[in-house]
Amino acid sequence: DTGVSQNPRHKITKRGQNVTFRCDPISEHNRLYWYRQTLGQGPEFLTYFQNEAQLEKSRLLSDRFSAERPKGSFSTLEIQRTEQGDSAMYLCASSPPGGSNTGELFFGEGSRLTVL
Amino acid sequence: GENVEQHPSTLSVQEGDSAVIKCTYSDSASNYFPWYKQELGKGPQLIIDIRSNVGEKKDQRIAVTLNKTAKHFSLHITETQPEDSAVYFCAALSMNRDDKIIFGKGTRLHILP
């Protein structure tokens, strides 16, 4: 399978715990995006990387959230001290070089977080 | 920043009929407008897109129209089939300025037998 891979697919955690999600993009894609999707809503932009550089962060991304892409390949999204409001689907997407000219995002199947 | 409004939020059509979903955007610099389909338990998947230098694009049963003056664009699905049931998202991007796609809130399309 050469698509975008995310894991874990589901995570249930207690409030206050830390969680980490991993995204493996399509191998030749240099841009990687994180979006958050809550029930009945469209994906909301969180942050994106071009290679290993984090180029933009949404104000939705509080200081409890951190994302990395250390070698320009896979990325991790960590949420510290989780709150019930963090419960959502976290979607990763990648796009090929010249992504802004191409536009298309290739999404993974998401990591669903439930905070109890 | 860009704001994308989408309606209706839910749409039910008889199998074989047409479905139309409409979106408006706020940023006149936006020049790329994709449509994504999301099936249950899956990530969104691009089904068609249109750039600002064209007014209409068609791919088999799916077509998109764009009115840049009015800042609105629409998705048209003809001869609907059961497998068209899904959530559809419109989105907008200014490819000249930034690289994040902004999504509408989605339309849940039900195809009735």
Q: Which residues in chain A are closer than 8 Å to B4, comparing Cβ atoms?
A: 42
**How would you classify residue A101: left for phi > 0, otherwise alpha for psi between -120 and 50, otherwise beta?**
alpha
pLDDT value, residue B14: 97
pLDDT value, residue B99: 67
pLDDT value, residue B103: 94
For chain A, give the mean pLDDT. 91
What number is the average pLDDT over the span A24-29?
92
Task: Give the residue ranges of chain B where pLDDT is below 50.
Answer: none
- Residue from the list A43, A101, A109 with its beta carbon closest to the beta carbon of B42: A109
What number is the average pLDDT over the span A7-32?
95
Give the residue on A whose Cα is nearest the Cα of B4.
Answer: A42
Q: Which residues of A touch B (CB under 8 A)?
A: 4, 31, 33, 35, 40-45, 48, 50, 55-56, 91, 93, 99-101, 103-110
Predicted confidence (pLDDT) at residue A60 exceeds the cutoff of 90: no
| Rounded Cα gap, residues A50 and B55, in angstroms | 31
Predicted confidence (pLDDT) at residue A99 exceeds the cutoff of 70: no
